[in-house]
């Protein structure tokens, strides 16, 4: 037991020596203080967040390994972290549950910051603009997801919420569910957005039926359905532009 403890201590000291042996201007912390976070590489930024590496491996080397890891068709780099689950991240040597959760939280925080910034410039009355806003989030999904987009009187985003995962069918989604959330958030108008995992955004009869039901219910409640946009692989269809929500 004592030998194991000594071995772990040596590994930790080895990791620290490796980082400390770097010239001060190349160490991520010092580099950030001197030149700003924008001067750091992806691996250096990640190493600052991770703080420690694994046995015998400094944080910077572990960060490089995480960014280089491939798996599950999700690619590598920062997007690879975003698309992997906690379980998938822990399969990378040196990444335990704590580090995997740290990585997922940083990825989600980055996504929210990016979306908040972008939403200020999105015109939610322009189908192409809305499609671009949700494209990267939805086009890679392997199951159908229906998103309710809620807007205020100025057409600005109040918030959005996933209403359904798996199958977007009128028989399984009630307009009541949609408008309970819209009323709770005091939305003046809404947009429905959902993806087709096939990559082809052609509306199905179920899509058309659901849209017409929601539009009719919204008219009665005074909450306008502006559009139902279907996301495919780098392409989208606006059901309003197609005129598919009228009988």
pLDDT band at 75 (very low <50, low <70, confident <90, very high): low
Q: pLDDT value at position 202?
A: 93
> Which tens digit of pLDDT belongs to each residue from 193-234?
999 988 999 999 988 988 999 999 999 999 999 999 999 988
Orientation of helix 28-35 relative to helix 42-50, angle to 10°: 110
Q: CB under 8 Å, gap of 24 or more: what pairs does 92-96 form?
A: 92/65, 92/66, 93/54, 93/65, 94/53, 94/54, 94/57, 94/62, 94/65, 95/54, 95/62, 95/66
User: How, if at all, do strands 157-166 and 236-238 pair?
Assistant: unpaired
Rounded to two decimals, the pTM is 0.63
> Which tens digit of pLDDT belongs to each residue from 83-117?
788 999 999 888 999 999 999 998 888 877 777 76
Domains of the chain, first to last: 8-115 (no CATH), 122-242 (3.40.140.10)
Neighbouring-strand partners of residue 165? 145
């Amino acid at each position: 037991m004592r030998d194991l403890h000594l071995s772990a201590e040596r590994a930790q000291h080895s990791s620290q020596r490796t980082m400390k042996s770097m010239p001060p201007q190349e160490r991520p912390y010092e580099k950030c203080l001197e030149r700003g976070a924008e001067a750091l590489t992806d691996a250096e930024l990640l190493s600052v967040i991770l703080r420690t590496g694994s046995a015998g491996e400094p944080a910077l080397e572990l960060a490089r390994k995480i960014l280089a890891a491939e798996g599950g068709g999700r690619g590598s780099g920062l997007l690879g972290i975003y698309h992997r689950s906690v379980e998938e991240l822990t399969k990378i040597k040196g990444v335990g549950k704590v580090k995997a959760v740290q990585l997922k939280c940083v990825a989600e925080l980055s996504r929210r910051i990016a979306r908040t910034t972008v939403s200020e410039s999105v015109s939610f009355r322009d189908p192409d603009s809305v499609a671009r806003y949700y494209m990267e989030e939805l086009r890679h999904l392997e199951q159908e997801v229906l998103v309710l987009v809620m807007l205020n009187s100025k057409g600005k985003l109040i918030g959005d919420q996933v209403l359904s995962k798996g199958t977007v069918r009128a028989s399984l989604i009630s307009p009541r569910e949609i408008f309970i959330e819209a009323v709770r958030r005091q939305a003046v108008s809404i947009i429905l957005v959902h993806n087709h995992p096939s990559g082809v955004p052609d509306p199905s009869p179920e899509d058309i039926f659901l849209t017409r039901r929601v539009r009719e219910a919204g008219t009665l409640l005074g909450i306008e359905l502006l559009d139902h946009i279907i996301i495919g692989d780098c392409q989208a269809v606006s059901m309003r532009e197609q005129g598919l929500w009228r009988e």
